[in-house]
Structure 1
Amino acid sequence: MLPLRESTIRAAFVNATRKELNDLTLPAGFDEIDWAKLDYLGWRDRKNPRRAFVVVPVDGEPVGIMLRQAEATPRTRAQCSWCRDVHLPNDVVFFSARRSGAGGRNGNTVGTLVCSEFECSANVRKTPPVAYVGFDVEAARDERIANLRMRAAGFAAEVLHEG
């Protein structure tokens, strides 16, 4: 992911009100982020733990999305829809997001199961287990990274779709 400035992040949000953007706090340690190890930027709001933010590259442009965590938690161990890691060291929660534009103003939302602290980029970079003799571990890791980027961008596209 390309490095982003605070002004770029704030301007990228497609489903937040001006007040919500004014209340937005950047993630702790923002100045020390290793952008090369991220496929998207995600963080929880320190003031409101049920609110979170993600900035996802879509066609080379950042798309910011404000998320709300559901009150209920999954009854069983859920799988993250973005990284799809089957050996998750973290929890997965359900987040919803208002659609952008008129759809969002009419109350339309989309939802997804995502790692609770947005650890997907680290999860897909872990060395996968060798599935068979001759298994290309690096190719498998690269595919996992590409799939994460595709799924995160797909979610952003759903938020952008006013349907």
Structure 2
Amino acid sequence: MREVTERDIRASFVNCTKGEAKRLAVPKDLAALPWEDLDFLGWRDPGAPERAYLVTESGDGFVGVALRLASPHAGHVRRSMCSLCLTMHTGDGVSLMTARRAGKSGQQGNSVGAYICTDLACSLYLRGKKEIGLGGRLHESLTLEEQIERTAGNLAGFLDKVVA
């Protein structure tokens, strides 16, 4: 992913108002991020743990979506798989994240959801830059480039549902 600025981030959101985009918490360490290893930028809001954000390249610009995390099931140990990168996690490593649809549909309260790595670090899990423990990444015959392409396709499918 090419480097994105705070201004780019705030202008990219398709499923929230300009005022909401202006108020959301943007990562403070943008310059220090490993841009060459990121397929998309994802982060959690430190002031509101149930909120997350995702920004990705689209054409010549960026597309951003505001997400909400579903309530975790406390004390429930389970294994779940991220629908974007197909990484397995235990416990709260994967969360149901919902995004209000863009436009009139979203104004009527319609949303879409996907099970995504809770820390939104899919790109780093794919590349082995972030470890999650035994059994987290299943052995695949696909090359890293093919896995990245599949993840990008899964993300594009989710974003298509948000903007449809």
Report the counterpart of residue 5 of structure 1 in structure 2.
5
- Which range moves more in the overlay, 97-106 or 12-21? 12-21
Residue-by-residue CA offset, 1:47-90 (whole Å, 9 max, x unaligned): 10100100022345311000000114395321000000247797
Percentage of pairs with the same residue: 35
TM-score, length-scaled by structure 2: 0.84
Query: Is the alpha carbon distance of 1:63 and 1:88 closer, same or farther for their aligned partners in structure 2, counting shifts above 3 Å?
Result: farther
The corresponding residue for 1:80 is 82
TM-score, normalised relative to structure 1: 0.84
- Offset of 1:31 from its aligned partner? 2.0
1:30 corresponds to: 30
* Equivalent residue in structure 2 for 1:121, among 120, 123, 127: 123
Which stretches of structure 1, 4 residues or more, deviate above 4 A after TM superposition? Answer: 87-90, 127-131
Task: Name the amino acid aligned to 2:126.
Answer: V
How far apart in 1 are the matches of 2:91 and 2:145? 20
Distance in 1 separating the partners of 2:138 and 2:5: 37
Aligned length: 155
What is the root-mean-square deviation in Å for CA atoms of aligned residues?
Answer: 2.4
Aligned partner of 2:162 in structure 1 is 159
**Structure 2, unaligned stretches of length 5 or more?**
130-136
Q: Which moved more, 1:151-160 or 1:71-80?
A: 71-80
2:104 partner letter: A
What residue is the counterpart of 1:106 in the other structure? Answer: 108
Displacement of 1:22 in angstroms is: 2.2
